[in-house]
Structure 1
Amino acid sequence: MATDAALLDWLLDSDPALRWRVERDLAGAPPEVWEATRARVATEGFGAELLGHQDLDGQWAGGAYFPAGFFGSPEADEPGQPWVATTWSLKDLREFGVDASLLDGTAERLAANSRWEYEDLPYWGGEVDVCINSFTLANGAWLGVDMSALARWFVDHRLADGGWNCQAEEGDSVRSSFHSTLNALRGMLAYERITGDASTREARHGGEEYLLTRRLMFRESTGEQVAPFVTEFLYPNRWRYSALAALDYFRDAAELQGRAPDPRMSDAIDSVRAARQPDGTWLQAKRLAGRTWFDIDVPEGEPSKWLTLIGTRVLDWWDAATP
């Protein structure tokens, strides 16, 4: 369905990090247009500001996943966590669409200077947390690091029920998590898209089946909605699962492999459609607590351009393929 002209104009009046995706995914702009906008991300707006916060040693805020000095500080007792350290900053820059060549030397500086807060492990080797490893897998592939060993880690650490759980490595859970599984899928998909290495595809499809069996929203055992977070749509969602985030992943995966939407997504689609406002926008849910370099999106309750882009393209994808 064509996007309303007024809504499209509102979406296009945005930071280049968002605008180029609107041009590509909703406005039907030719590649030379959206690629030119994407090239501006590194020199203005969100992308330029975030690049400006990089430390000389290649890190952001002096740490791998948390800022330097975080543990034992008053900030550690506050709600949420800070979103300013290296992994989060790289993830944002990658998702903003910054060209990896503009971070020339960053991968090498991180290999030399950055260690995980968990057991002081080397940065590009990852650690034991599924979500952290997912972000690292995608970020490393983007920066041209050989991440094949960490890619294999996801194949080897998939749980018996088909997905992943960040608690599993510490022995706290043998059941998969919606959050962890979606993050693992996103990391593996980004890795495959960037490198062309499909060695994780079978594991990724198994993780997809874990979510699809639960229709992206429900407990397999009782059929009840797994938790309120499933229909709480927010941006940036960082690590947090929602039906909208899952659907956007499946849309992206379908694009890579030429697949049609699975009918088991219909309940999730209904939840996204129900959340759309009469003017075609989606409202921001409560944002995740924690320090940021700057605000990427609007406060709670306001129309979100990021969510509106994601929600619109998900419904467009579904409606185009589903009579």
Structure 2
Amino acid sequence: MNVIDWLLDADPAIRWQTLRDLTDASPGEIAAERSRVEHEGWGARLLELQDAGGPWDGGALFPAGYTGNEPGQPWTPTVHTLQTLQIFGLDPAGQAARRAIALVAEHVRWEHDGQRYFDGEVEPCLNGRTIEAGAYFGVDVRPIVERILGERLADGGWNCEAENGSVRSSFDTTIIVLEGLAEFERVTGGSEAVAQARRGGEEYLLERGLFRRKSTGEPVKPGYLDLAFPYYRHYDVLRALDYFRRCGVKPDPRMAQAVEVVSSKRQPDGRWLLERVHPGRVHFVLEGGVGEPSRWNTLRALRVLDWWQNGS
């Protein structure tokens, strides 16, 4: 079985993106496969796990009754589940998606101060995720966008710790906000202010080669070079490169080392491995264990390398 066949022998969430990004399948074939996400496999399972009252696992950011004593971060509440459904490519116009989002909008509240879910929270990392999910699923999130534009730091990016006095941007927060603003622009057309902020955040990452400290040139964190899935709130070079690809940004020479990191991890059989699993409670496992072949990493790496090699 070659790599493309291996990817196609998978969940609809992977199959439809493989058809779109790595084959010459027709728009009709791609749309038909995408429509299966709502009714089959991982997408259908996640939709079925939504609580009758609207959230997943009883909360926006934390599960119901969460005490903080369990190992790792719980990845089951609403914010992470909506991100996962979006990564799967659940059709926002589908009946199941419309029903799920209506329940979230009406009933889910942030734990911080009881804000309505799509009114946003106070941290830019959570608001970036809310902007992305809201825009994708057709919710008006313009007030959160306006807020986040005013929270950009002097070096060009964002940091959730700014409220605690940090004046330097964070790779992790910046990529989350960029993904949100890019989705908002894609859906609404955005504005010059949004485009300018997004370009500034992209420049923050590019000036650092997508993983290095500007001051010393050393990698910011070893984990930024590991290919993880799901990535949730965590940064890594493949997530960053896939963001630039998705936005249609022309490959920049400053990405070259990050591309080489991804390319160097290709196995002799043409696949990529799962290198990191962020610990914490999950609804169900999407991949094998660390060190095993990863369809998600392979799909994302192949389309990033195709974008890089073709120059667009």
TM exceeding 0.5: yes
Kindly provide the amino acid, as one letter, of the partner of residue 307 in structure 2.
Answer: W
The residue aligned with 1:24 is: 20
Residue 125 (structure 1) aligned to one of 109, 119, 126: 119
* Structure 1 residue 286 displacement after superposition: 2.4
Corresponding residue to 1:9 among 5, 13, 24: 5
| Aligned ranges 1:58-137 → 2 under 5 Å | 58-70=54-66, 72=67, 76-101=68-93, 102=95, 103-137=97-131
Q: Which amino acid aligns with 2:243?
A: Y
* Match of residue 175 from structure 1: 168
**For 2:5 and 2:102, how far apart are their aligned partners in 1?**
41
Instruction: Find the residue that maps to 2:263 and give its secondary structure.
Output: helix
d(CA) in 2 for partners of 1:180 and 1:33? Answer: 36
Deviations 1:143-165 (A, max 9, x none): 32211111112210000110011
Q: Could you tell which deviates more after superposition, 196-205 or 217-226?
A: 196-205
User: How far, CA to CA, are the matches of 1:40 and 1:139 in structure 2?
Assistant: 20
- The partner residue of 1:296 within 277, 286, 289 is 286
- The yes-or-no answer on 1:207 pairing with 2:197 is no
Higher alpha-carbon deviation: 291-300 or 191-200: 191-200
What residue is the counterpart of 1:280 in the other structure? 270
Rate the CA distance shift 1:45–1:108 in 2: closer, same or farther, 3 A.
closer
Partner deviation per Cα, 1:287-319 (whole Å, 9 max, x = no partner): 011111111122100010100011111111111
AA aligned to 1:272 is: V
TM-aligned CA deviation for residue 192 of structure 1: 1.3
1:193 corresponds to 2:204: no
Distance 1:111 1:260 in 2: 36
| SS, match of residue 297 in structure 1 | coil
The one-character-per-residue Cα deviations of 1:246-305 (angstroms, maximum 9, x if unpaired) are 111011111xxxx42111101111111111111111111120111111111221000101
Q: In the alignment, is the contact (CA less than 8 A) between 1:154 and 1:200 conserved in 2?
A: no
Q: Which amino acid aligns with 1:233?
A: L
Displacement of 1:112 after TM fit? 3.1
Aligned to 1:160: 154
CA positional deviation for 1:243: 1.0
Q: Note if 1:245 corresponds to 2:239.
A: yes
Taking the aligned partners of 2:214 and 2:102, their CA distance within structure 1 comes to 44
The TM-score with structure 2 as length reference comes to: 0.95
- Residue 228 of structure 1 pairs with residue 222 of structure 2: yes
Indicate conservation of the 8 Å contact 2:131/2:144, yes or no.
yes
- Determine the C-alpha separation between the residues in 2 that align with 1:105 and 1:273: 41
Secondary structure at the counterpart of residue 160 of structure 2: coil
SS in 1 for 2:262: helix
Structure 2: distance between partners of 1:29 and 1:78: 45
Structure 2 residue runs of 5 or longer lacking an equivalent are none
Q: What is the aligned partner in structure 1 of residue 49 from structure 2?
A: 53
**C-alpha deviation, 1:92, in angstroms:** 1.2
CA–CA distance in 2 between the matches of 1:112 and 1:39? Answer: 26
Paired position in structure 2 for 1:308: 298
For residue 105 of structure 1, report the CA deviation from its aligned partner.
Answer: 4.0
RMSD: 1.4
Larger deviation: 107-116 or 60-69? 107-116
Q: After the TM superposition, which parts of structure 1 deviate over 6 Å for at least 4 consecutive aligned residues?
A: none
- Could you say which residue in structure 2 is the equivalent of 1:38? 34
Q: Following the alignment from structure 2 to structure 1, what is the Cα–Cα distance between the partners of residues 47 and 271?
A: 30
CA distance, structure 2, for counterparts of residue 119 and residue 287 of structure 1: 31
| 2: CA distance, partners of 1:204 / 1:266 | 21
**Cα distance between partner residues in 1 of 2:198 and 2:228:** 24
Size of the aligned set, in residue pairs, is 309
Give 2:138's aligned amino acid: G
Counterpart position of 2:260 = 270
